[in-house]
Structure 1
Amino acid sequence: RDTGVLTLARDRLGIKPLYLTETPRRIRFASSLPALLDGGDVDTSIDRVALHHYMTFHSVVPAPRTIVAGVRKLPPATVRTIQPDGTSSEHVYWRPEHVRREQDRGMTARDWRDAVLESLRVAVRRRMVADVPVGVLLSGGLDSSLVVALLAAEGQTGLKTFSVGFHAAAGESGDEFEYSDLIAEHFDTDHQQILVDPARMLPAVDNTITAMSEPMVSHDCVAFHLLSEEVAKSVTVVQSGQGADEVFAGYNWYPPLAAVPRAQAVAAYAKVFTDRPHADMAAILEPEWLLRDDPSRAFIAEQFAMPGAEDTLDAALRLDSTIMLVDDPVKRVDNMTMAWGLEARVPFLDHELVELAAACPPEFKLAHGGKGVLKEAARGVVPDAVIDRPKGYFPVPAIRHLEGPFLERVRDAVNDPVAKARGLVRRDWLDAMLADPNTQRTNLGSNALWQVALLEMWLQERGI
C-alpha cells in the first residue's frame, strides 16, 4: 500500500478467474465479469474478435479478451504489476513444456502408470484439507470414480457422493446412474442420486445463465447448476474429475492428431476441434460482425509456434490444458458451484500432476482409446466395468434437442427487439434454424442454434 504498486496474480491453471476493466485513471478487478458491469462505466460493446472465438471454440474466448470489449481477464499463471504512474508489466510464471524430460528417460509404461497414480494420490490428499467434510461430484466416469477410490483409500469414511440425471429426450438417455451407483456401492459412499424433475428444467436454464460470468454454450452448465444446488444442502466442499480428458488425452479428436506432421499441425487441429470453418461465418453473422482474416486460426498458430511441444499431439494437449480447459470445463464448474456457495476442487489440475502428464510420451496417453496411462493406473483401484466402459458425457437431452418450451425460450430470445437491434446474426439463418432447430450441429456435435441463442440470452440477462 505504501509503494502504490498493485500486483495481480492468477493461479497456474486458471481455476479461479480474475476480470479487469481499465480507464486512464482507474483499474477495477473482480472474480466475476458481472460484478464489473454492475459497477458501471464499462464499454459494453461486443468484441468482434471475441465473437469469432466464441463461434469457433464452442464459446471459449481465450484470455485476455472477453465478449465484452471493456472487460479483460488476466491469463492463468500470470502476474501483472501496475506502477503508480499507470504503467504495467506482465510475467508468465509457469507453463508446462510438453516435452520429454531427461529425468524420465528409460521409464517404462509400468513406471508411468505408477508415477501417475502416486501423483494423483498426492493431488487428492492435498485437496482433502478442510474444516468440513469433502464430498465428490460423481458422474460415473473414470475420472470422478478414481477420485472417490483414492479418497476411500486415504481413509475418508462417510464419503458423500452426488450424481445428477435427467429424463430422456429424443431417444437420448439423460443419466449414467448405472455407473455412479456401481461406484457408490463398491466404496460404500453416502450417495445421493438426483433425478431432475422436468418442471425444474426451464427455470434452471435462466438461473444457469444468470450464474455465468461469461456465456458458456455447454449444456453441462445446467447439469452442474442443478447438481450444485442440491449438493450445497449437504456439503460446502467437493472434489471433481474435471481436467483429466485434456491432461491425459481422453477426447476422440486426439488420436487423429498423433501422426500429423508438425508442419500441418495447425490445420489438423482446427479441423478436428473448431466449431466451423472461418468461411462459414458469413452465412451466420451479419456483415458488420465479419472479419476478413481468421483470428481464431491465427490464435491456434501462435500457440502452436511457442517453444516446446515438438509433436502435434503435444501442441494440442498444451493448448487444450492451459487455455481451452480454463475457459470451458474449469470455468463452467467454478461458476455453477460458486453460485451456491460450493467450493469445487480439481485434483487433476494439480500442477505437479499436469507437469508429469505433459512429460508422458503421447503413446502412453493414447493407449486403450485415450487416457491409457490413467486407465492403467486405475486398474485394481476402481472396478473394471468403469474403466472399460464407453466414454460418457454429462447429457442434458432437453437442450441438445430443442423443442417445446425450450425452443420457445430460444425463439423469444433471438426475436427480442434488443436482439434485432443488436443485429449479430443473419435473419435468414435464424429463420432456417428456428424452422429446423436440431439438424445443424457444430463440428463437435453441439446444437448450432443453442450456441447463438445462449449468447443472446446472456447479453440480455446482463442488460447489454
Structure 2
Amino acid sequence: MCGINLVLNARKGDIAIHRMMEATKHRGPDHSSWVGINEKVFIAGNRLKILDLRDVANQPLLSDDGKLALVWNGALYNYQELRNRLLERGEAFRSHSDGEVLLKWLGAFGSEGIKQLRGMFAIVFVDSNKKQVLLARDPVGMKPLYYYHRDHVLLCSSESKSILLSGLVSATVDRKQYAPYFYCRHGMPDASFFEDLLQVLPGEVKLYGFEGQHIASHQLEMEQHAEQTPTKEVFKELLTDAVLRQFHADVPVGVLLSGGADSSLLYQLWYKETGIPLHTYTVGFGKAYRDQYDDASFAAEVAGKYPGAHHEIQVDPQTVLEVWPEYVKTLDQPVGDSASILTWILAREANKQVKVLASGAGADELFGGYNRHKAFSHYLARPVFWNFLSRLNLEKIPLGREKRKFLASIHASPERTFMNFSALGNLPDSLATQLRPYYPRQLSDYKAALEWDRTFYLVNDVLKIHDNACMAHGIEGRAPYLDWSLVSLSRGMTEAEHLRRRNKIWIRELLREEGLGRVADRRKLGFGLPIREWIRDNKNFRETVFSEIGAFEKKHGNAFPPVMRKIAQNPVSYYKEGFLFVWNLFVLSSWIRENGL
C-alpha cells in the first residue's frame, strides 16, 4: 500500500512533486522518493513495505534502461502467475515484489495487460518510448486516484489534498457536492469537494501525452470466470482461497473483528486453514450502551473460540472529541459515515502491532446483507400494494422509524425506490436525475439494487473510509470478500438465486456449522457510533456537534439544498429521527472548517 503522485507538464515540477510526496508520506512511511523522468514528467512514491521488505522493491520502479517507470498503490493477488509468464518470456527479476512484476508486465503488454491483473490497484505508468503516461484504477474501486487536468497540466495523486499542496492548484469548495453528500454521505463518484479535482472512476484507464494532452480513455470490464454452480461449497472454497491470498504478507496481519458474521467467518476460515493466531480488533461503547451496541460481546465470543491476540478498544464521547481534530485533519474527503472515525481509532491502535488489516467489507453488497435488501425484496413481491399503501395518509398511525422510512421511500419506479432506500432520505428529482447514469438499469430489479450498492455505495463510502482511516496510520486495508472470484460469483447469479440466498445465508450457515450460531443469527447492526444516544445523554458532545453545524450554516447555508439548510438551522429538532443527517452535517462542517473553505 502506498501513496503515488504525478506532475506532468507543469512549471517547477520538481518542487511540486516533492511537496506532493511529503503530503502523502503517511500512506507509505517506510520509504519515499521521487524522480524526474525528463523536464516534463515527475513521479513520486511513498512505500508501505508489505512484500519483499528490501530496498530493491522501493518506488518509483524503473526499467533497466530507464525508459519505463511505475508508481502504484495496491496489491496484485495473481502476481506469481504473471511473474511465471514473464519468466517464460525471458524476463529476469531482482526482487520478489508484485511491483516489479507489474512494471515488467505493463512494459510487455501496455494498457491491454491491465485486463489480466487481479487485485486492488491505482497505477501511474510512464512509457518514455511512447511518450505516454497511463493512469488506471481497479474495476472494484478499492484504491482511490484523484487528478487535475487543465491547460495541458496534469497532476495526479492518491489523495486530493496532495494535489492542492503542490502549490499549483487553489482550494475552492465545489458546492455542487452538497446535495449528493447530504443524501448519500459522499460526493459524486467522479468528483471531489474541491473544484476541478476529479476522480478516476473504478476500472477507468486514461492515457496522456508528455505535452499534457489527453489521448484516450477506456473502461475495463471485470471478466467473468468460468460459470460455477452457486453453492455454499463453491462459495466457501472461493472465500478460503481469497483469505489465504489476501492475508499473505511479509509483515504482521490483523483483522477488524466487528462481531458481525462477515469478519467472524474470515477469521474462522483463516485459523482453521493455518492454525496461525492473529491480532483482532473491535470497539466497545461501555455498559450503558452494550445491550443495544453489542459488537464487542460477539467479537469476544469469536476471539475466545479461535486463539489470537484480541483488542477491545473502548470508545465514548470524550474519546471521539479528543481525537476529532486529528481525525478531521487526516480526512482527505468528507464521508458522513460514523464507521469512518471508528475505523480510524481501530487503525491507530492496530498500528502498534500490524501493518495489514482485513475487514468484512463487501459481503453485504455481494450477497444481500443489508436491511434495505430485505425491504426491497418485500417491495418487489407486491409493488402495486406498497405503492397504494404509500399514498395513504399514515401520519396518525404509530409506525417505527424503519417502517415509516420504508413507506416514505416507495416510488412508482423500482429503481428510484431502492435509491431512496439506500439514501438517508428521499432523493429530490434533480439529484435522482444526476445519479441515474450510475444506476445499472440493464439488470433485473434486485440484481440492479445489489450492483448499485457495490458500485456506488461500497466504492464511495465503505472503501473510501477504509482506505483513508487505515492509510492515515500507515496500514494497508484488505477486503477478501471483494476478491474478483467472489465478485464474479455474485454477478453471475440470477435474480432468483440471489433472492433465495439473500441475507448472506451461506455465511450464516458456515458459522452455524462451526458452533457460532449466536453470531450468525444476531440482528443486523451497522458498524457505527451510538450517535442519537450520545447527543441525548452527553452535553459536551451535543453542544460540540450543534455549535459546529451552526457555524457552518451561517457561513455556507445559502448554498445548501432546502432540507439540508432546514436541519442545519435547527439540528436539536431533528436529531432523534434524523441523527444520521445531523452527524453527516457535523462531519462536513468540521472538514470545511479544517480546510479553510
* TM-score class, shorter: 0.7 to 0.9
Cα offset, 1:73, TM superposition: 0.7
User: Is the Cα–Cα contact under 8 Å of residues 168 and 397 in structure 1 kept in the other structure?
Assistant: no
1:66 aligns with 2:187: no
* Displacement after TM superposition at 1:331 (Å): 1.0
Deviation (angstroms), 1:315:
0.5
CA deviation profile, 1:74-127 (whole Å, cap 9, x unmatched): 111111111345123221112478xxx9945xx4xxx51111111101110111
Task: Verify: 1:229 aligned to 2:348, yes or no.
Answer: yes
Cα gap change, 1:248 to 1:190, in 2 (>3 Å): same
- Considering only CA atoms, is the larger Rg found in Structure 1 or Structure 2? 2
* Distance in 2 of aligned mates of 1:93 and 1:428: 40
Once the two structures are TM-superposed, the CA of residue 351 in structure 1 deviates from its matched residue by 1.1
Conservation of the 8 A alpha-carbon contact between 2:511 and 2:519:
no
Q: Which of 243, 246, 249 is matched with 1:127 structurally?
A: 246
- 1:273 Cα deviation after fit: 1.8
Q: Is the 8 A contact 1:5 1:84 kept in 2?
A: yes
- Structure 1, residues 170-218: CA drift from partner, whole Å, max 9, x if none? 8974442221111011112221222235532202233222222211111
Deviation at 1:44, TM superposition (A): 3.6
Q: Aligned in 2, Cα 1:214/1:431: closer, same or farther, shift over 3 Å?
A: closer
The code of the aligned residue for 2:149 comes to: E
What's the CA shift for 1:249? 0.7
1:91 aligns to 2:218 (yes or no) = yes
Cα separation, partners in 2 of 1:197 and 1:457, compared to 1, 3 Å: closer
- DSSP 3-state at the match of 2:347: helix
Query: Residue in 2 aligned with 1:285?
Result: none
How far, CA to CA, are the matches of 1:356 and 1:457 in structure 2?
40
- Please, which of 188, 213, 217 is the counterpart of residue 307 of structure 2? 188
- Contact persistence 2:227–2:492 (CA under 8 A): no
Cα separation, 1, equivalents of 2:362 and 2:576: 30
SS at match of 1:448: helix
Give the AA of the match of 2:160. Answer: L
Aligned equivalent of 1:438, options 563, 568, 575? 575
> Could you list the runs of 5+ residues in structure 2 that have no partner in the other structure?
1-126, 384-410
Q: Return the offset for 1:8.
A: 0.4
Q: Which gives a bigger RCO, structure 1 or 2 (Cα 8 Å, sep 6+)? A: 1
How far 1:11 sits from its partner (Å)?
A: 1.6
Name the TM-score, length of structure 2 as normaliser.
0.67
Contact 2:549 2:568 in 1 (8 A): no
- Checking the alignment, whether the CA contact within 8 Å between 2:141 and 2:202 is kept in structure 1 is yes
Change (3 A) 1:4 1:404: farther
Instruction: Measure the CA separation in 2 of the matches of 1:326 and 1:126.
Output: 22
In structure 2, the residue matched to 1:8 is 135
TM value normalised by structure 1: 0.85
Letter of the 2:360 partner, please give it.
G
Work out whether 1:294 is the aligned partner of 2:430.
Answer: yes
Post-superposition Cα deviations, 1:290-326, rounded to whole Å, max 9, x if no partner, equal xxx6133442355233x4x2x1110111111122101
**Aligned residue pair count:** 435
Quick check: 1:166–1:195 contact (8 Å CA) kept in 2?
Answer: yes
Q: Are the aligned partners of 2:371 and 2:524 in contact in 1 as well (CA < 8 Å)? A: no
1:388 aligns with 2:535: no
Structure 1 pair 433–151 and aligned structure 2 pair: CA distance change class (3 A): same
Of 256, 265, 271, which residue of structure 2 is paired with 1:137? 256
Is 1:32 aligned with 2:159?
yes
More strand by share: 2
Alpha-carbon distance in structure 1 between the residues aligned to 2:326 and 2:223: 36
Root-mean-square deviation (CA, aligned residues, Å) is: 2.8
Q: What secondary structure does 1:132 align onto?
A: coil
Q: Is the 8 A contact 1:123 1:348 kept in 2?
A: yes
* 1:240-319 alignment runs, 5 A limit: 240-258=359-377, 259=380, 264-279=413-428, 294-300=430-436, 302-305=438-441, 307=442, 309=443, 311-319=444-452
Aligned mates of 1:88, 1:382 — CA distance in 2: 57
Write the letter of the residue equivalent to 1:10.
R
Task: Report the Cα distance in structure 2 between the residues aligned to 1:170 and 1:183, rounded to whole angstroms.
Answer: 20
Distance 1:268 1:79, change over 3 A: same
| Secondary structure at 2:206 match in 1 | strand
- Counterpart-to-counterpart distance in 1, 2:481 and 2:514: 16
Contact 2:553/2:568 (8 A) holds in 1: no
**CA shift in 2, pair 1:168/1:379, >3 Å:** closer
Return the letter of the residue paired with 2:265: L
CA-CA distance at 1:278 after TM superposition:
4.1
What are the ranges of 5 or more consecutive residues in structure 1 without an aligned counterpart? 280-292
Asked if structure 1 preserves the Cα contact closer than 8 Å seen for 2:368 and 2:502, the reply is: no
Q: Which residue of 2 aligns with 1:290?
A: none
Which residue matches 2:539? 404
Instruction: State the Cα deviation string for residues 333-370 of structure 1 (Å, max 9, x = none).
Output: 11111111111111011111111012223444445761
Q: Please give the alpha-carbon distance, in whole angstroms, between the structure 2 residues aligned to 1:171 and 1:346.
A: 27
Distance 1:102 1:14 in 2: 23
User: Does the CA-based 8 Å contact 1:266-1:297 persist in structure 2?
Assistant: no
Deviation for aligned residue 1:271: 3.0
Cα distance in 1 between the residues matched to 2:193 and 2:365: 24
